[in-house]
């Protein structure tokens, strides 16, 4: 039984932070070990690194909260989870039925007929002789929440919208890679005395991956010279990035929340947006000015592209 006090709560949080970092470090070591056999441009552990970390961490801490009797009581929060991340408090308490889960996040990238029509209209100017400096492959011409359309603001960039049905993503030797993943994850769980069965976690991960990934060479070819990603869709970005680096195309990621997102300084960590990026579109000088305060720093091989933050400035009220 957990005894609530400021000191005990502080101690509990500190212990959880330490456990979380230890799980992360072990997963990093497991990924590095897998690179000896499966390089970065086909490595499934790298693509799903964040998802693996989430599943290992959140089940570890949920089970601990239940054992300490400090789990929340609100039914919506404690309910069984049919979709990602598949294990809620009720699944831990009463058993997790794998057959009832709806696996995958969905890999399709669908463009409306109107958006594709507008792109054809915009690109017609290049057929009529207008020059362009670069061709961009991208999911959306809107790269922020305002009306900042690349079609209007950067006409010297010719855009090619990515339009994909589900099932497009694949990696070679998927079965063998999943076998290695299962062994590495089981070792991590045993090392940390994880309260959930390794067989359950590895089965969930395997089904999660196979729902959006098949075995074989990746045949996606981009029409652009550069892949421009959007923020907030990490798994989709990683899948697209794998295709880009196989074609030796530069990948530009967009900073999402700077150092204040879901993960610890995601933009600067080795396994956040940095992982497959050639460049990062940021918020100006602020991120670099505070870089010494971060646990992770901007990597030398990644170019930081400043933004003038026009739309952010419109909403800023000192």
Whether residues 290 and 187 share a domain: the answer is: no
- Most distant pair of Cα atoms in the chain: their distance: 74
Whether residues 64 and 142 share a domain: the answer is: no
Whether residues 89 and 124 share a domain: the answer is: no
Classify residue 52: in a domain, yes or no: yes
Whether residues 158 and 300 share a domain: the answer is: yes
Q: What is the pLDDT of residues 286-297, one digit of tens each?
A: 666 666 666 666
Whether residues 62 and 144 share a domain: the answer is: no
Whether residues 81 and 120 share a domain: the answer is: no
Structure tokens at 74: 């609100």
Rounded to whole angstroms, the Cα distance separating 81 from 70 reads 19
Rounded to whole angstroms, the Cα distance separating 170 from 242 reads 10
Average pLDDT, the chain: 85
Asked if pLDDT for residue 77 goes beyond 80, the answer is yes
Beta bridge partner(s), residue 215: 171
Rounded to whole angstroms, the Cα distance separating 254 from 240 reads 14
Q: What is the pLDDT of residues 89-120, one digit of tens each?
A: 999 999 999 999 999 999 999 998 988 888 88
Q: Where are the beta strands (DSSP E) in the chain?
A: 134-138, 157-161, 170-171, 214-215, 226-228, 251-254, 279-281, 303-305
- Residue whose entry in the numeric block shows the structure tokens 């007929």: 113
Domain that holds residue 242: 113-163+220-315
Whether residues 157 and 78 share a domain: the answer is: no
What's the number of domains the chain is made of?
A: 2
Classify residue 227: in a domain, yes or no: yes
Whether residues 153 and 233 share a domain: the answer is: yes
- End-to-end distance of the chain based on CA atoms, in angstroms? 46
Whether residues 233 and 205 share a domain: the answer is: no
Whether residues 29 and 140 share a domain: the answer is: no
Q: What percent of the chain has pLDDT over 70?
A: 81
Classify residue 1: in a domain, yes or no: no
Whether residues 174 and 227 share a domain: the answer is: no
Classify residue 43: in a domain, yes or no: yes
The overall pTM is greater than 0.85 = yes
Classify residue 130: in a domain, yes or no: yes
Nearest alpha-carbon partner for 133 in 225, 71, 218:
225
Rounded to whole angstroms, the Cα distance separating 19 from 8 reads 16
Contacts of 250 (CB under 8 A, 6+ apart): 225, 226, 227, 244, 278, 279
Give the confidence band of 123 by pLDDT, cuts at 50, 70, 90. Answer: confident
Give the confidence band of 137 by pLDDT, cuts at 50, 70, 90. Answer: very high
Q: What is the mean pLDDT of residues 187-216?
A: 97
Whether residues 152 and 229 share a domain: the answer is: yes
């Amino acid at each position: 039984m957990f005894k609530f006090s400021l000191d005990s709560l502080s101690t509990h949080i500190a212990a959880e932070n330490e456990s979380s970092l230890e799980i992360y470090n072990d997963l990093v070591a497991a990924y590095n070990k897998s690179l000896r056999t499966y390089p970065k441009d086909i490595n499934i552990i790298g693509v799903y690194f964040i998802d693996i970390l989430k599943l290992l961490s959140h089940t570890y801490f949920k089970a601990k909260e239940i054992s300490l009797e400090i789990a929340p009581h609100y039914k919506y929060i404690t309910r069984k989870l049919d979709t990602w991340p598949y294990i809620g408090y009720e699944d831990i308490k009463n058993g997790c039925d794998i057959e009832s889960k709806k696996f995958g996040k969905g890999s399709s990238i669908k463009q409306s007929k109107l958006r594709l029509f507008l792109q054809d209209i915009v690109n017609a100017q290049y057929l009529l002789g207008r020059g362009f400096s670069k061709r961009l492959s991208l999911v959306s011409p809107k790269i922020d929440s305002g009306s900042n359309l690349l079609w209007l603001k950067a006409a010297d960039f010719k855009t090619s919208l990515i339009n994909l049905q589900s099932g497009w993503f694949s990696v070679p030797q998927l079965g063998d890679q999943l076998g290695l993943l299962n062994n590495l994850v089981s070792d991590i769980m045993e090392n940390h005395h994880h309260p959930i069965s390794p067989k359950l976690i590895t089965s969930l991960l395997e089904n999660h991956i196979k729902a959006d990934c098949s075995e074989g060479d990746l045949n996606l070819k981009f029409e652009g010279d550069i892949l421009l990603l959007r923020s907030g869709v990490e798994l989709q970005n990683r899948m697209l990035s794998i295709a880009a680096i196989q074609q030796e195309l530069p990948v530009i990621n967009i900073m999402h929340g700077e150092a204040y997102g879901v993960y610890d300084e995601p933009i600067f960590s080795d396994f956040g947006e940095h992982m497959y990026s050639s460049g990062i579109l940021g918020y100006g000088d602020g991120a670099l000015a505070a870089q010494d305060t971060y646990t992770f720093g901007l990597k030398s091989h990644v170019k930081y592209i400043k933004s003038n933050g026009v739309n952010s400035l419109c909403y800023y009220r000192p």
